[in-house]
Structure 1
Amino acid sequence: MTSFKYYVGASIDGFIADRNGDAHWLQPFSQRAGVKAHFDQFFAGIGAVVIGGKTYENIARDVAEGKLEWAYGDKPVWVFTHHELPTVPGADLTFIRGEIGFWSRDIARSASVGDVWVVGGADLAGGFVQAGLLDELVLLTVPVVLGDGANIFGRGVSAQLAGLETENLGDDVFVSRYAVG
């Protein structure tokens, strides 16, 4: 059965983006051997991706400017947005608006036998929690203190999490898995 998983990196004080909405401070950690191996294993089980409009817009801009490569290959990518957004050449994109619950079955079906990666941002992940559709949080915690910014699930979200495991990926980077529910 397809699971909806939110894999996200955060500072040790719980922020996924700085006060300007920038998450580039996470990039140096993504190429560390333990982090890369863990992410590659996670991504191998992903069949579809869902992204919020602001997060997608930042990714699409960085791809267009040559700062990033499109990281999702040929996997179907669903973008929740209220605005017209640019496309990424060669990407399998579906732009949607509306309630998460309304689209969740189509998104899950597009994942085939894989899981769905809820990329973010925080408001989208929080929306999945509020809709009772997020199955797992995979939290990569890095040794950075931001002091302010976007927190993991956005504002006004509460959830009960059950710890599944924590692993040291080296270089003071930890990954923890939580069941959401």
Structure 2
Amino acid sequence: MNWIIWIIIACEIGFWVLIILGLAARYLLNRKKLGLVLLALTPLVDLLLLAVSAIDLYHGAKANIGHGLAAVYIGVSVGFGKNMIRWADRQFRIRVLKTGEKEKDLFGLEFAKANLIGWLRHLLAYCIGGSLIAATVLFVGDFERTSELVGIMRVWTIVLAIDLIITLSYFFWPKKEKGRI
């Protein structure tokens, strides 16, 4: 496996470790400022990943799926990061502290709107990741060395389109509560 993949895995683990430590500091140690600092460090993991990927390409590496995934990871972290932290916070309160309430299930138009918001976050992630990939291609200046990044964008474009079709389907065929017709 390519070493850049290992860096991505380490960054993903680091992201979740910072979130768990931040939530533990906030709720278990009652150290709200420390918890906030730890949660605020999560974007630094993304910057580290971007820097390592850029340095690798700058020193002549041929772009591969790892470099593309680095851009995708950063886009997803920006597009969904706040929601992932909010979700983790809720899960921590529910599962560890036994104080949180489970989020209510959505149905019908509410469910469709929530999915549309999720798709818009996906679009934001796509735009950020795609911009990073385009900037990388321009920065390296050698399409032959960066052509795999374009292939990653093709796949992501298809995934984004499928996600949109599924999202729009909820407006035409709304999700119903079980037992209701």
TM-score by length of 1: 0.25
Higher relative contact order structure (alpha carbons within 8 Å, sequence separation ≥ 6): 1
| Structure in which a larger fraction of residues adopt helix | 2
| Structure in which a larger fraction of residues adopt strand | 1
TM-score by length of 2: 0.25
* Greater gyration radius: 2
